[in-house]
Structure 1
Amino acid sequence: MRYEWESMNRSRCRMAMVTTGIFYACIIACFVAADQRSYDGYEVWRAEPRTMKDVEFLKDLGFTTEIDYWSEPTTPGKPVDILIHPDKERTLRSTLETERIPFHTYIDNVQQLILEQMRRKIEAKNSRELRSILDFDYRVYHDYDEVMEWMNTITMEFPNNVTMEQIAVTYEGRPMYVLKFLGGGDVDKPVIFIDSLIHCREWITTASLLYIFKEMMTNPLYKHMLEDANWYFVPMINIDGYVETWTNDRLWRKTKSTGSSSLCTGVDANRNWDSYWSVSGSSNDPCSNLYHGPTPESEPVIRHLARYVLSLGKIDGYLSTHSYSQYILYPYNYANITTPDYELQDSVGEKMKNAIYAVYGTEYTNGLGATVLYEFSGTTSDWTYDKAGVKLSYTIELRDTGEYGFLLPPEQIIPTGEEYLAALEVFKNELTTL
């Protein structure tokens, strides 16, 4: 179902585009009408731990309170972004000051960024029938129904190359699909698997990849990418959560499953894989954003995606797409341990990093997940490396480094896609030479 505030109120919003103030007032009214959670008064603070004691304190704080870390405490000197509830601002300020951990306001109005994304959406909206993927507007974010429309369109437009297969049903009963981009020819071509939106508030992941696959199918410059490799693409893993971000809570992260013994909803799907499950960087508290679930693969989308990946038999490269922080991460994530394929993983990661930089000068960091980011287990890339035997398994954290965080402005969709496309081109080239 298309998000309620758009379908009920778009015409009123269009009529209100007389002044900026009236327009924003209309958007706010639309949100209220749909019971959309307001982040009015919320801020994002950037804390700057100077010692390991500061880092450990922030980690413990995250596990003992309902703090939403936008970027996790990892090492001294690396900033930590924290979403601040207005009711907890005074307490947290006092706590950080007592511990002498420096911090400052990094985003002073979270709700304004959310409304700005929606304003761009309404301004760009048109009623033109989607006859081709070239008709799709890649300059704005799209809800579940619109992404599904794009998926159906690309399969109808390129029936000889693109097929869609249902591989799961979500907790709330929505189908999950994989798109297969097969160029024909050599049966021994590399197989590359890409997923996105396992954390549903990371809208840039799906948006940038829709642009990328449009370029692969329509731009002669990237014709070789389909000719040289077979691609599998899951545009939306956490579909129920994605719908939630459009209808109720823009910053929802987890799935929407409910356990019989908890009043809290959802599981962190990237802590739910059957790979070092619950070992590190996750929580057994169902109310935590890092809740790993009651059992490995308790979430239907993870369980069935795992079965599908294993059923393919041969996958040469796997990239799980996230945001934000601008990282290229390879296993292991659960502990500071390198794999036997460390040198190859690091070399290919460096080449992707350099390809991204060559587009707009955007700097990514390449390295071992547990070292560059932090130790976290039950993750996609640890599972694909260990259980599916994919040597070149990566977690890609897209733009930015915190200026907008999960609320990346829509004008950055295409530039982000162009950078990621450059990395994928290098990734494909490396696989063809192995």
Structure 2
Amino acid sequence: MHSARKCLLYPFGYTKRLPPNIKLLHRLAVDVQNSINIVNGNNYNVGNAPNILKPTSGTSHDWAYAVAGIGLSYALELPGGGTKGFDLPATEILRDRFWRKTRSPGKRFKGVDPNRNFDFKWKKTGASSKEKSGVYCGPRPFSEPETASLSQIIIKHSSHIKLYLTIHSCEKCIIYPYGFTKRLPLNAIQLHNLAIEVQQEIIRVNGNKYLVGNSPTLLKPSSGSSRDWVHGVAGIDLAYTLELPGGGIRGFDLPANDIIRVVTEIFEGIKINDYLDNLALNHRDIVTVKSIGRSYEGRNMKIIQISSNPNANKPVIFIDAGIHAREWIAPAMALYVINQLVENSGNAHLLDLVDWHILPVLNPDGYEYSHTRERFWRKTRSISAGSCVGTDANRNFGFHWGEGGSSSNACSDTYKGPYAFSEVEGRNVKSYIESNKQRIKLYLTFHSYGNYLLYPWGYTSALPENHVELQSIAEDVNAAIVQAGGDEYTIGSSTNVLYIASGGSDDWAKGAAGVQLAYTIELPGGGAQGFDPPPSLITPIVRETFPGIVVYGEYIGQKFGRK
């Protein structure tokens, strides 16, 4: 470790030539860079010394790598400070990890507990008038600019706010008003029932049980909290504190690998359709959400249309995911693409070039079943002949249906179905694509696993007429993913680089619907069976893959967009 340049350096320092395992070195450094950024917002530069600082020879990390044979060798340049950069003040070196309060000055001690500073039953119970206390309520209600500002925002928008949620740790419970008394609010039954629904959804995802109730019953009395003020003064009926699980030495320092697990268990239960609807509500200028029909079990299949100008008749990129239920990373990838297109202004140029139509879950019945009953379920949930359930929706499309790589056995995972488009989910997609086929110039379907960029055909080893173009685009996509730290993808037609599979959606999109460019993207795998990458890998996978989606967008915009 060194200071004071704020960078992560890997070999070599004496030359711009990169070591043989540069991809691994760079990817690990970027992971560290991202973790630091998440914790405190600091951005470290990543690279070797000649490229981001200056050449240096005879360094310890070069020697460790080249002579001692240690394949992962780095120099970590910490931030600088002081007059010359090397004299960081002691107060900056080690800060108080377990500080609880604000940082406002008092007569003798700093800080106020902001969750004892709201003007509802302020200072009544469970709060202290002593500055030194961790639950010091402050010299007066709303003495803190943070609490005063929040209260002003809530009052201003109170007619629109229907639920208030404040997130804390580390008691693993869902708390509703009141904190200052065991007396329950008038809508206690409504508050309790909704909290129980949240509790049961978390249990469904991973078995963890959160306690439900009010503070005096579950923990201890406390007055002046934001939750009580929101309910009692701002008049918002549904107000909760969500106490996440604890961990680490004192409960408040959950290890990093557990943080993703906790976030997953809370938010796995948020319905994808609700997320799409919220985007449509909050981004009406660029987002439209439509139903393309219902699944076999009646679930609404919603598609999101993202466009900076829906009337401009721009080329369309159609994306679907989740045709195979167990491939959870596929809908996650689709949702990440949606998030980046809608909520990251840095990608606005992609909306100027093309319109994006994205179906996050093509097989919603199977997807739900894989979450609630059988983790590695693959097919739809339609009733087949005999005792077996479901059809492989990606063997059921009506282009060379029932040929190689599909099964007539209803119990098989690759069961082709009794006839082409027997599955309502596939028929819904067919109708949508056919009604928009004049504008759809690229079809993408996300699957897992295996790091493949596949184009037609799946039913034969013969190549389509534009295979050179398909190969070239895929190579550019792969290069962008690798540049972002991802692993190499194998590129080619489905039959030639993976296996024969007829009745696939990508073959149908190109061969029947006439979409010139069609791909299956087999995302990286993980976990026990490849289809269950751990939560810690989800963010790296989707983040590294997105630059490839950008390549697709820019290509379609340049080739088919307005000149």
TM-score normalised by the chain length of structure 1: 0.69
Please report how far the alpha carbon of residue 388 of structure 1 lies from its aligned counterpart in structure 2 after TM superposition: 1.2
Is 1:237 the counterpart of 2:362? The answer is yes
325, 328, 337: which one aligns with 1:200: 325
Please report how far the alpha carbon of residue 361 of structure 1 lies from its aligned counterpart in structure 2 after TM superposition: 4.1
1:400 & 1:181 partners in 2: Cα distance?
28
1:372 & 1:270 partners in 2: Cα distance?
18
Given the superposition, is the C-alpha separation of residues 325 and 3 from structure 1 closer, same or farther in structure 2, using an over 3 Å criterion?
Answer: same
| Equivalence for 2:424 | 300
| Higher RCO, 1 vs 2 (CA within 8 Å, ≥6 residues apart) | 1
- Letter paired with 2:204: E
| Equivalence for 1:317 | 442
Residue correspondence of structure 1 range 12-411 to structure 2 within 5 A = 121-122=261-262, 124-125=264-265, 142-143=268-269, 145-184=270-309, 187-259=312-384, 261-314=385-438, 315-400=440-525, 405-411=530-536
Please report how far the alpha carbon of residue 401 of structure 1 lies from its aligned counterpart in structure 2 after TM superposition: 7.0
Contact 2:486 2:545 in 1 (8 A): no
Given the superposition, is the C-alpha separation of residues 403 and 244 from structure 1 closer, same or farther in structure 2, using an over 3 Å criterion?
Answer: closer
**Per-residue deviation, residues 356-390 of structure 1 (Å, max 9, x unmatched):** 11111411111111111111000011000011111
Given the superposition, is the C-alpha separation of residues 162 and 16 from structure 1 closer, same or farther in structure 2, using an over 3 Å criterion?
Answer: closer
**Per-residue deviation, residues 229-288 of structure 1 (Å, max 9, x unmatched):** 1000001110000110111011110000002x3100000000000011110101000000
**Per-residue deviation, residues 283-334 of structure 1 (Å, max 9, x unmatched):** 0000000101000000000011101100013210010110100100000011
2:326 & 2:541 partners in 1: Cα distance?
16
**Per-residue deviation, residues 134-162 of structure 1 (Å, max 9, x unmatched):** xxx6xxxx34x521221111111111211
Q: Greater shift after overlay, 207-216 or 158-167?
A: 207-216
Given the superposition, is the C-alpha separation of residues 16 and 415 from structure 1 closer, same or farther in structure 2, using an over 3 Å criterion?
Answer: closer
Please report how far the alpha carbon of residue 419 of structure 1 lies from its aligned counterpart in structure 2 after TM superposition: 2.3
Q: Greater shift after overlay, 194-203 or 10-19?
A: 10-19
2:202 & 2:262 partners in 1: Cα distance?
13
| Equivalence for 2:209 | 10
Contact 2:260 2:535 in 1 (8 A): yes
2:310 & 2:276 partners in 1: Cα distance?
24
**Per-residue deviation, residues 156-207 of structure 1 (Å, max 9, x unmatched):** 1111211111111111111111111111178242210000000011101111
Contact 1:320 1:396 in 2 (8 A): yes
1:321 & 1:414 partners in 2: Cα distance?
16
> Highest Rg: 1 or 2?
2
Q: Give the count of matched residue pairs.
A: 322
> What SS is found at the alignment partner of 1:356?
helix
Please report how far the alpha carbon of residue 208 of structure 1 lies from its aligned counterpart in structure 2 after TM superposition: 2.1
Given the superposition, is the C-alpha separation of residues 15 and 193 from structure 1 closer, same or farther in structure 2, using an over 3 Å criterion?
Answer: closer
1:10 & 1:122 partners in 2: Cα distance?
12
**Per-residue deviation, residues 67-106 of structure 1 (Å, max 9, x unmatched):** xxxxxxxxxxxxxxxxxxxxxxxxxxxxxxxxxxxxxxxx
- Letter paired with 1:233: I
> What SS is found at the alignment partner of 1:251?
coil
Identity of aligned residues (%): 33
Please report how far the alpha carbon of residue 226 of structure 1 lies from its aligned counterpart in structure 2 after TM superposition: 1.2
> What SS is found at the alignment partner of 1:431?
helix
Higher helix share: 1
2:277 & 2:398 partners in 1: Cα distance?
32
Contact 1:205 1:322 in 2 (8 A): yes
| Equivalence for 2:551 | 426
TM-score normalised by the chain length of structure 2: 0.54
Contact 2:306 2:357 in 1 (8 A): yes
- Letter paired with 1:263: S
> What SS is found at the alignment partner of 1:319?
strand
Contact 2:321 2:446 in 1 (8 A): yes
> What SS is found at the alignment partner of 1:201?
coil
Contact 1:4 1:247 in 2 (8 A): no
| Equivalence for 1:104 | none
Contact 2:526 2:532 in 1 (8 A): no
> What SS is found at the alignment partner of 1:406?
coil
> What SS is found at the alignment partner of 2:521?
strand
Please report how far the alpha carbon of residue 5 of structure 1 lies from its aligned counterpart in structure 2 after TM superposition: 3.6
Contact 1:254 1:269 in 2 (8 A): yes
Given the superposition, is the C-alpha separation of residues 250 and 12 from structure 1 closer, same or farther in structure 2, using an over 3 Å criterion?
Answer: farther
Given the superposition, is the C-alpha separation of residues 387 and 345 from structure 1 closer, same or farther in structure 2, using an over 3 Å criterion?
Answer: same
Contact 1:164 1:180 in 2 (8 A): yes
- Letter paired with 1:179: I
Structure 1 gaps of 5+ residues are 21-116, 127-136
Structure 2 gaps of 5+ residues are 1-196, 213-241, 249-256
Contact 2:525 2:532 in 1 (8 A): no
Contact 1:385 1:393 in 2 (8 A): yes
Given the superposition, is the C-alpha separation of residues 12 and 354 from structure 1 closer, same or farther in structure 2, using an over 3 Å criterion?
Answer: same
- Letter paired with 1:368: S
1:351 & 1:212 partners in 2: Cα distance?
18
**RMSD (Å) for aligned C-alpha atoms:** 2.7
